[in-house]
Structure 1
Amino acid sequence: MNTKNTDYWPPGLPREVSYLNGEKPIHEYLFDNERDIPDRPAYIFYGRAVTWKELGQSTRKLAAFLKEKGVSKGDRVGLYMQNCPQYPIAHYAIQMIGSIVSPLNPQYKDAEVEYQLGNAEARAVIAGADLLATVQRVQSSVPSLEVVVCTAYADYLPESPTLDVPAFLKERPSVANGAVDLSQILAEYQPLEEPEPVDLWNDISLMTFTSGTTGRPKGAMLSFGSALYKTAASMMANKVEPDGCSLAVAPFCHIAGMNSGVYMPVYTRRTTVILPRFDPETVVRAFEVYRCDMWYSIAPMLRAILDMPGIEQRNLRCIRNNPATSFGIPVTEKLAEEWKALTGAQIHEAAFGLSETHTSDTFMPKERIKWGSCGIPMPENEIRILDLESEEPLPKGQSGQIVIRNKGVFKGYWKRPDATAETLRDGWVHTGDVGYFDEDGYLFFTGRIKEMIKCSGYSVFPEDVEALMLRHPTVTQCAAIGVPDEKRGETVKLVAVLHPDHKGQVTEQELIDWARENMAAYKYPRIIEFRDSLPATGAGKLLRRLLKD
């Protein structure tokens, strides 16, 4: 089925995407805002307002520094920090000089940071000061890494915060071993005036690490135009009004959080209140103080707020636009009714998407919400359902692999032509996800071909967990699988084969504790089972599905 002509197209919504200030990279939208509305707040961080002028000037100064240090067009630059005003400054400074942003999850530990920076052959990294020690421990193992910039979140905290500030944001770790403090750069450098010319639809601006259909994380290369197209299409389809005030809590390192917290604010000129972590009381207080009218949330956040004692006495009637995603628990009609009774806002499933397509491939028409579905395809976005065996297009109602084509899909995986050829064919992204269209043209997601595990909304790749666990001296073989979890959706179970010399000398809990210290919190296995061997084909290929069965 080809869904270019959708049955339930919302009245008044154009089928063609138009761009507010023309077809150009979003960092140029930032500089338009710097010129046109210099004194309006762009971001607010616990009461500290960063104006569009400050954001633009800081971006230009950091870009000047990076360029002076030899970071140039096409170089990969790691971005490793919590949500904070420095994040969009760094993001757009990298892209201003034509370099490529490669975001790292701030939960990553040494081995994960070393793998991504090394695989991307990163020339530079910009890190939160709390994460600098991790970068410096692995720097000698990443020969390409020449420039390290760090920043303390406390640099952007006000003297009198309007919200409770987590203790870790107040810390000022020392800068040493060749790292340069962002505050020093902003004090000493002159702004770079002109951005590097780029080919909007072909030059790469973002390399986000994902697994595709299988394997350890790979760098999915997305163009400057990918961000522009998906931001503009999402704004149109979800009826996001320019100006106004948004709340950003979703991690900026994640493609969905990046869209809502980095790209959308600049494109729409919306003031955005930044929080680095979800805390129910802080979020509620942010709505009360700043009267945010838009929030991209996930279902567990909504549930946590609804369950707060005395929440019915709080004033959340400012929210008007509230897309939500089913992470761990689903966005249901019952949840939506509870949320609407409290806030007056109508929540709905946000979108279906993946890193390779810059996410947001569908949207839910607010006039015709269909619970349990992912909505209908974005403007100028084609989605088909293919038979799992023949790969022929299937009619409505029949389940198969979801494939996607639009002008913003990724250009391939960094230095992985084999994986690129498997996933990207004639412009179509073969997602590895399974679903179907109903009679009205709504997409329903039903499962995955790929073995990726979804824990609290994060993608966990079995091969990645296995590679990290094999660093433990007692483990000779292992296999990671997803098992159902009531709160997290899925959780990681590891089946491990111990070295003969260590059998009976290490416990399951000891391995779990080691994994907790060496992997991101969402990723480490919560369950471990010891076996004498793992199921495999005659050629030695691991059969994870037998373990799941």
Structure 2
Amino acid sequence: MFTRHHKVWPRELPKTMTLPQTSLFTNLEISALRYPDHTAIIYYDTRITYRELLDEVEALAGWLQKNGVKKGDRVLLYMQNSPQYVIGYYAILRADAAVIPVNPMNRAAELEHYVSDTQATICLAGMELAEFIAPLVGNTYLERVVVAAYSSYVRQPTDLNLPAEVSAEPRVLNAPGLISWENALNSGDKPGEHTAGPDDLAVIPYSSGTTGQPKGCMHVHRGPMATAVQRSFWNITTSDSVQLCTLPFFHVTGMTGSMNSPIFSGATMVIMTRWDRNVAGTLIERYKVTGWTNIVTMAVDFLSNPDLGKYDISSLVTIGGGGAAMPQAVAKKLKDLTGLDYIEGYGLSETMAATHINPPNAPKAQCLGIPVFDVDSRIIDVDTLEEKGPGEVGEIVSNGYQVTVGYWNRPAETEAAFVEIDGKKFFRTGDLAYYDEDGYFFMVDRVKRMINASGFKVWPSEVESMMYQHPSIHEVCIISAPHEKRGETVKAVVVLTPEAEGSTTEEDIIAWCREQMAAYKVPSEVQFVSELPKSPTGKLMWRALQEEEWKK
């Protein structure tokens, strides 16, 4: 067991944790029993209590079972953040089925893969997405789609700027197999006894993958239960905590940090359907938000808001996330403004969010953190599988309750994803990192993202971290570019700050880099763009830029 980090472990927390031997749904049932009139959700100024939330979950679970959903079946959840997402997620669990969270950016061809791979017969969809899933009804395994209009849950007057999807009025559903959310909830169907336990399938998020079609990461209830409970204790969350929910729930970080963990604690979720930094500022001030789990790019946008000073954000107690290393200049601005450190963490779809988080009282900058409760994490040689020591770069492998039990319908890939060490199965993350003498883990890069320039190994994230110190750079992505002599060379794709546009040149950036880093790391080319491609969760899509460059 890796224990080097125990010397920096938070003193108030145990190093091991006994998990509930119940399903994830039971967390909602218990919170509703304990805090029936406490606010579970605030949605653009409309409040929903825990009693109301559980009642609607039970009603939808009854409809699901009445319409053929059996234990172990898979149900697609194709929505943006909303009360309906939370209700749908927990209703699927209540019906003893498994949630298939689908990226709202996916369209017909991608949706067909999810349906055919999981053999799902029912989908819960947002109204704005119904047109993309409806053509699959009757032509695939899919039989019914329950369509939800987000506006039906904005029941109180609000002065907040509503996204178009939230302000849109419900539409008449004419396509076969489509049923309105309200009709499903008002069907009067009652669910049977809840029988799912910790070893039954709960959720199958699909990993983006590096090649081929997305793979379903199978998680039994024990997995998301682990990350929900662990995050709750790590951040000292109580029923009086208020969580701002801006990360998409379909992604494991938002699912865990902004939904499952608050529900376990009986806390309040302040849900945003789309990111808007001014609305976020208003919500933090209006509802005294105490915690905010986000993505680094979201935090950067929030802190760069020229109107940030208008909002009282002093209620924040914890703020953190991952997806990329937090630029030191931005972290300093947050610290100066709030007195808070940005707490970075690390996890994957295969690990149901975090396996590593920085200790709140002793975080390190641009660091993945330390292994959390009961997680055994090592660094191994990619080829020989030999275990590495402090400061040596290798692949992160992890063992813990939250690790996937395997890829859906992919036994060969499941077998290849694990390695045995000391008699335990460790998941191979595909991420290169090292740990220091104190047991903190630091990302170097993806296994396949290294740039080999004339034999010199260049780790893009290292160069990006250094370039963020340039005052004219707002965002940067390092990729490789073909080079006649070196094979490949370093290229920087840069978004300048508004002040630097028109006055900073490619030569300026390269000259600055020559002063800051080894010559072989210096970008030989700088391309200025208005924005970098990002996934719906805010992660930098470096691979898209990489492939575009080599296609040239």
User: TM-score band (shorter)?
Assistant: 0.7 to 0.9
Check conservation: 1:42, 1:52, Cα contact below 8 A. yes
- Post-superposition offset of 1:378: 0.5
Per-residue CA deviation, residues 184-243 of structure 1 (Å, 9 max, x unaligned), is: 122232443631x1231x211111111556432111100101011111112222333443
Structure 1 residue corresponding to 2:161, chosen from 161, 164, 170: 164
Q: Match of 1:215?
A: 212
- Structure 1 distance, partners of 2:551, 2:13, is 44
Deviation of 1:8 (Å):
2.0
Q: CA deviation at 1:343?
A: 2.8
The alpha carbon displacement at 1:483 in A equals 7.6
Q: Distance in 2 between matches of 1:226 and 1:384?
A: 20
Residues 454-483 of structure 1: CA distance to partner in whole angstroms, max 9, x if unpaired? Answer: 9xxxxxxxxxxxxxxxxxxxxxxxxxxx98
* Worse-matched range after superposition: 100-109 or 176-185: 176-185
> Is the CA contact 1:401–1:431 (under 8 Å) kept in the aligned structure 2?
yes
Q: 1:162 to 1:376 in 2, by over 3 A?
A: same
Separation (CA, whole Å) in 2 of partners of 1:528 and 1:354: 23
Q: Which residue of 2 aligns with 1:464?
A: none
Amino acid at match of 2:63: F
SS of equivalent residue, structure 1 residue 292:
coil
Tell me the amino acid that sits aligned with residue 342 of structure 2.
I
The Cα offsets for residues 235-264 of structure 1, whole Å up to 9 and x where unpaired, read as: 222333443211100000111011122201
Contact 1:26 1:227 in 2 (8 A): yes
Seen in structure 2, the aligned counterparts of structure 1 residues 58 and 287 have a Cα distance that, compared at 3 Å, is same
SS of the counterpart of 1:58? helix
Match of 2:342 in 1: 347
- C-alpha distance in 2, partners of 1:528/1:387? 27
- 1:2 paired residue number: 2
What secondary structure, in the 3-state scheme, does the structure 2 residue paired with 1:404 have? strand
Does residue 1:188 correspond to 2:183, yes or no? no
- In structure 2, relative to structure 1, the CA distance for the partners of 1:361 and 1:188 (3 Å cut) is same
Q: How does 1:146-545 map to 2 (within 5 A)?
A: 146-171=143-168, 172-176=170-174, 177-192=176-191, 194-195=193-194, 197-200=195-198, 202-211=199-208, 214-327=211-324, 330-349=325-344, 351-426=345-420, 427-450=425-448, 485-486=493-494
* Residues 181/305 of structure 1: CA separation in 2 closer, same or farther (3 Å cut): same
- TM-score of the superposed pair, with normalisation by structure 2: 0.79
CA contact (8 A) 1:413 1:419 kept: yes
Aligned residues: 469
Residue 6 of structure 1 aligns to a residue whose secondary structure is helix
Q: CA deviation at 1:416?
A: 0.6
More divergent stretch after superposition (172-181 vs 43-52): 172-181
CA distance in 2, matches of 1:415, 1:313: 52
- Supply the distance in 1 between the matched residues of 2:360 and 2:39 (Cα, whole angstroms): 29
CA RMSD, 1 decimal:
2.8
Cα shift at 1:5? 5.9
Matched residues, percent identical? Answer: 29
1:24-63 per-residue CA deviation (whole Å, 9 max, x = no partner) reads 1221111112222211110011111111111101000111
In structure 1, list runs of 5 or more residues that go unmatched. 455-481, 489-515, 531-546
Hey, what does 2:118 align to over in structure 1? Answer: 120
Give the structure 2 partner of residue 92 of structure 1. 90
Whole-angstrom distance in 2 between the partners of 1:179 and 1:416: 31
CA distance in 1: counterparts of 2:277 and 2:415, whole angstroms: 44
Cα distance between partner residues in 2 of 1:263 and 1:117 = 25
- 8 Å CA contact 2:369–2:440 kept in 1: the answer is yes
Displacement of 1:340 in angstroms is 2.6
User: Is the deviation greater in 210-219 or in 70-79?
Assistant: 210-219
Question: Relative contact order (alpha carbons < 8 A, sep ≥ 6): 1 or 2 greater?
Answer: 1
Specify whether residues 296 and 92 from structure 1 end up closer, same or farther in structure 2 by C-alpha distance, changes over 3 A only: same
Distance (Å, rounded) in 2 between the aligned partners of 1:484 and 1:413: 35
| Aligned match of 2:15 | 15
| Aligned residues of 2:341 and 2:363 also touching (Cα < 8 A) | no
The C-alpha deviation readout for 1:70-119, integer Å capped at 9, x for no partner, is 11111111000110000011101111121110011111122111122222
Q: Which runs of 5+ in 2 are unaligned?
A: 451-459, 462-489, 497-532
1:468 equivalent in structure 2: none
Seen in structure 2, the aligned counterparts of structure 1 residues 347 and 526 have a Cα distance that, compared at 3 Å, is: closer
Give, in whole Å, the separation in 2 of the partners of 1:45 and 1:268.
19
CA distance in 2, matches of 1:149, 1:203: 25
In structure 1, give the amino acid aligned to 2:237: V
Alignment partners' CA distance in 1, 2:551 and 2:428: 24
Shift of 1:140: 4.4
Scaled by the length of structure 1, what TM-score is found?
0.80
Q: 1:451, CA displacement in angstroms?
A: 6.3
Distance (whole Å) between structure 1 residues aligned to residue 315 and residue 335 of structure 2: 12
Q: Deviations over 1:131-177 (max 9, x none)?
A: 111111233442x2122211111110124025221222122232222
Q: Decide whether the 8 Å contact of 2:125 with 2:148 is kept in 1.
A: yes
Residue type matched to 1:194 in 2?
Answer: E
Q: Distance in 2 between matches of 1:60 and 1:325?
A: 34
1:23 is displaced (CA, Å) by 2.7
